[in-house]
Amino acid sequence: MSERTTHTGTAADRFAELDPSLPSEPRGIANEVIDGPVGDYATDFDHTGAEWVADPYPIMDDLRSRCPVAHTERYGGGWLPTRHEDVAAIAYDTERFSSRSVVMGNNRPPHDLAPVGIAPPISSDPPFHHGARRLLLPAFAPQAIAKLEAGTRAYCDELLDAVQGRDVVDAAGEFAQHIPVRVIADMLGFPREDAELFRGFVHDVLEGVNLPLAERFERMQGLFAYLSAQITEHAASPRDDLTSFLIDAEMDGEKLDPFHIAGTMALLLLAGIDTTWSAIGSSIWHLARTPADRERLVADPDLVPTAMEELLRAYAPVTMARLVKEDMDWNGCPMKADDWILLSFPAANRDPRLFEDADRVVIDREVNRHSAFGLGVHRCLGSHLARMEVRVALESWLAHFPDFSLADPDAVTWSPGQVRGPRHLPIAIAR
């Protein structure tokens, strides 16, 4: 991250440094890569392990009853709390846990990236975090998001009209994944035809945690090169979108550093895509295998918002990460500086200490203090957008296809890593 400078020249001058200043090699702290099958998740957990990817909930429940904080030597060392109260305590404790990186992998970003991080504000720590987040909040407040609802609904209808009449539809690949990509591309002012490129970036950044560092870095450079080009182009011809907004935005009376702008754009582009896609997909997956819940929602569409909260609780797509700032004993866990914390909101959401029938989907659950969108100062910036997209997608799906089931349960595949959702979801449509 370069020092903040006062920009008095033309837009081209201001952003001239952006591209060439990208580091030419990965910086940070790399650890030895440990892969291979997991022995015991209590002492050797791996969130990319095959059994975790296939069905993490029994593993979480087991760890919660016997640990309740699991440990691993993988990824250079990390901890996995499974109780709601522990997840909450760490989410709130920005003094001792840093967001310098929120993706647990084999490389820790250099310490000098804090408190800004690579993708502010998700990667930022207080006090910098507050201002970086504050300037984005109005664009993601419910009043602003409500304006996007009609367009989102029209797009969902368009996607489903196109597959109307088919016997089998891939609800993940042909429906869910397209929705957030279109919405965020429009918000940022990126060409809609670049959608395939964005899905590639998502895959590289969030699912490639075990790739060799050099390869991962090369893929990141592709993303930042794309964003640099968009920034330069928007700086030359400003318009009413989030990219132009960020170029003009000020914090503490100064324009944002170009790297701050690019990092925030990377966040906005990537964070909402596979997360929302996952929430929509998991919801359809659940309804496809639970006819009673599906029939109830078809009969009573007003229940969709309540049901959506329950599906977000039970199948929360997002797990975050933190880095321990200094060696300490945390509730009996000997944490070392730069140990990871895998902050599992999905595990917290299934804690029977907070939820009755925590392991069951209760489609009309009225008391639902879930934390699918996180807790504390890093509450998902896009939660209002995500909720709108998931609700509209489910309403559109149920209106088009009131009767459906899994075409082949064994053919469903789930994403590895910290964002969990179906990536192939063949649904049999009854007619």
**Angle between helix 258-271 and helix 273-289 axes, rounded to 10 deg:** 10
The 10 Å CB-count burial string (b at 16+, else e) for 143-164 is eebeebeeebbebbbebbeebe
Closer Cβ to other proteins, 177 or 371, answer by number: 371
Minimum distance from residue 364 beta carbon to other proteins (Å): 13
**Does 276 help bind other proteins (rule: CB under 8 A)?**
no
| Ranges within 216-275 binding other proteins (CB under 8 A) | none
- State the DSSP H helix or E strand holding residue 273, giving kind and residue range, or none if neither: helix 273-289
Residue 404 DSSP SS3: strand
**Does 366 help bind other proteins (rule: CB under 8 A)?**
yes
Q: In this structure, what token pair is assigned to residue 305?
A: 């918002």
| Ranges within 306-335 binding other proteins (CB under 8 A) | 309
**Does 376 help bind other proteins (rule: CB under 8 A)?**
yes
Of 27, 130, 134, 336, the one binding other proteins (CB under 8 A) is 134
**Does 137 help bind other proteins (rule: CB under 8 A)?**
yes
**Rounded Cα–Cα distance for residues 129 and 136 (Å):** 11
**Rounded Cα–Cα distance for residues 201 and 193 (Å):** 15
Minimum distance from residue 355 beta carbon to other proteins (Å): 12
Interface stretch with other proteins, choices 20-28, 131-139, 228-236, 395-403 (CB under 8 A): 131-139
Of 22, 303, 377, 399, the one binding other proteins (CB under 8 A) is 377
Of 129, 234, 370, 400, the one binding other proteins (CB under 8 A) is 370
**Does 369 help bind other proteins (rule: CB under 8 A)?**
yes
| Cβ-Cβ contacts under 8 Å for 16 (sequence gap 6 or more) | none
| Cβ-Cβ contacts under 8 Å for 61 (sequence gap 6 or more) | 350, 359
Of 138, 212, 222, 291, the one binding other proteins (CB under 8 A) is 138
- The sign of the dihedral angle between the CA atoms of 116, 122, 128, 131 is positive
Q: In this structure, what token pair is assigned to residue 73?
A: 């030597």
Of 23, 58, 142, 222, the one binding other proteins (CB under 8 A) is 142
| Cis-peptide into 68, omega within 30 deg | yes
**Does 373 help bind other proteins (rule: CB under 8 A)?**
yes
| Cβ-Cβ contacts under 8 Å for 384 (sequence gap 6 or more) | 140, 141, 142, 145
Of 140, 190, 259, 330, the one binding other proteins (CB under 8 A) is 140
Of 221, 244, 290, 368, the one binding other proteins (CB under 8 A) is 368
**Rounded Cα–Cα distance for residues 368 and 343 (Å):** 19
Site size toward other proteins, by CB under 8 A? 23
**Does 375 help bind other proteins (rule: CB under 8 A)?**
yes
Closer Cβ to other proteins, 48 or 371, answer by number: 371
**Rounded Cα–Cα distance for residues 393 and 182 (Å):** 13
Residue 241 DSSP SS3: coil
Minimum distance from residue 383 beta carbon to other proteins (Å): 7
**Does 298 help bind other proteins (rule: CB under 8 A)?**
no
210, 106 Cβ separation under 8 angstroms: yes
**Does 301 help bind other proteins (rule: CB under 8 A)?**
no
Contact residues toward other proteins (CB under 8 A) are 134, 137-138, 140-143, 305, 309, 366-371, 373, 375-377, 379, 383-384, 387
